[in-house]
Structure 1
Amino acid sequence: QNYMAHHSGMSIAAVADAIFEGRLRERFHSDPVIESAELLLQEKAPRDIPTATVRTEADERSKDETETESPDSRVILDPIKALRATNVMSNGRYSVMVTATGSGYSRFGELAVTRWQPDPSEDRLGSYIFLRDTTTGDWWSATAEPKRAQGERVQTLFGDDKASFTKSVGSLRSEVECIVISEGNGEGRRITLFNDGATDRHIEVTSFAELVLGNEASDNAHPAFSKMFVETEIAPNNGAIFATRRKRDKNDPDLTMVHFVTDPSGPSRDAEAETDRRAFIGRGRTIADAVAFD
């Protein structure tokens, strides 16, 4: 017959702790060794779990085939198959992080401008540009994610001052350059389209981003609640979207964002704007299957 003496000891210690109003717990936690591991005793579930990637010989060979580097730039030839790569650009106040597949986030100081939740399997959050052929109805993103096209060819270039994304779908080639403005607090994306075919193409260009304009931790804790405080206004000519965050506390910072589009032909181009997530993405859909492109 076995007797678990330590169980009896724990029971006696628990009774003594209750009688002496927690004195045993206080003595236990005053031990320097225990104090150093206090967080482990709380057994809190981590909010973000870092992933560890084990690189095999096949991975190293794949990297050699899909990524080349020079002292001031990196070229990722096939971002979907290549190892995860990111680029961070900043002017000291405003920062942008983009992945090789085109996802990422924007921040102003300690505040999140756009929504970001890292995912080890796919990239579906960021500031995106979509292209739609008005003749065929086919549409895709100008970067590798979030909307792919059959037979696409994608290349990403990371430099110290910008990130460039080149994508070819059929006879249409697009180039997107992403920069952080040095004189102010903002970012810019320039898209150039090349028609390598013999017939004219009519392409719609659409930009998309999910806004936070506040504390990232609060947004991650309850995104649906956080979205309720973002207010938007569309300019009369649809040339710009103004967004701000309604304050919950008088000490909350004032932050207003303006998103606008311009091109060499001037403001005469027809433009549309939409700030209703359900109207753009649709109920039960994702950005890769947005109802706006149906």
Structure 2
Amino acid sequence: MASQKTKKRHVGMGRQGVAVFFENKLAVFGLSLVIFLVLFSFLGPLIYPSEQVHTNLSQVHIAPGEQGFILGTDGVGYDQLGRLMLGGQTSLIVGLSAGLLATAFGTIWGATAGFIGGWVDAVMMRIVDSLMSIPALFLFMLIATIVTPTIPMLVLVISAFAWLNPARMVRGDSIALRSREFVTAMRGMGGKPLRAVRTHIVRNSIGTVIVNATFQVADAVLYVAYLSFLGLGVPPPAANWGGMLSTGLSEIYSGRWWLIYPPGIAIILLVLAFNFVGDGLRDAFEVRLRKR
């Protein structure tokens, strides 16, 4: 009977969290925008196929609306709309993969450090502090110049340093949770630390983890754009929005606006969308709002 009441209470809290999320108009707009950009990038090429491997110098710098090109072509003859879809795939894959991987590793690191405490916590968090003292963009640029920038490599490079903030946040939750009654009771019954971290610390920090994951994805998308803008992104014929923006800036005085504004606007919209979703999730997981 008690378990049924607990289950109903959790269901009710889950519904209330969803209701709180959908009350946030910016969060709903952000979620709709993320869905639209995902469909645009991955289903768009099926509806609007275009050649994105071989260049065609006979169709260079065609203006939007001419010769059947909705957004025109770039300096080597690629269809700009198709290029925008292909670039969205790279930006989304790297951003989502790096953001989620960094959040997962940071969660494990922070939960372990906060739960164990003592000298282990001190050593683990000094490593975090040391890495955070170095500008992340400088490290990304250094590594990107040493290794070949492929999509898996970009994911590893970005996630290798993006896990620091999640680690610090989850570590704070872990310190607060390790003295709670249910954790103390489990340890008193002989429960192993690994089980405590997995079943109690991480699960009770899930709100912090999910909210932080959305912001990590947004940051990862920006890092991809930074590196690609500096010429350290995935080499052609692959594309991403940062590289398209960098290429388009060389045409800024030629009046070819379609090479600059579409990728720039796409980056801004994607980052804003994930931030809006993160704000909505933060409200949904806020205990005080759930108890309204």
TM bucket, shorter chain? under 0.3
Q: Which has the higher contact order (CA 8 A, sep 6+)?
A: 2
> Which structure dedicates a bigger proportion of its chain to helix?
2
From the CA coordinates, give the structure whose radius of gyration is larger. 1
TM-score (ref. length: structure 1): 0.22
TM-score (ref. length: structure 2): 0.22
> Which structure dedicates a bigger proportion of its chain to strand?
1
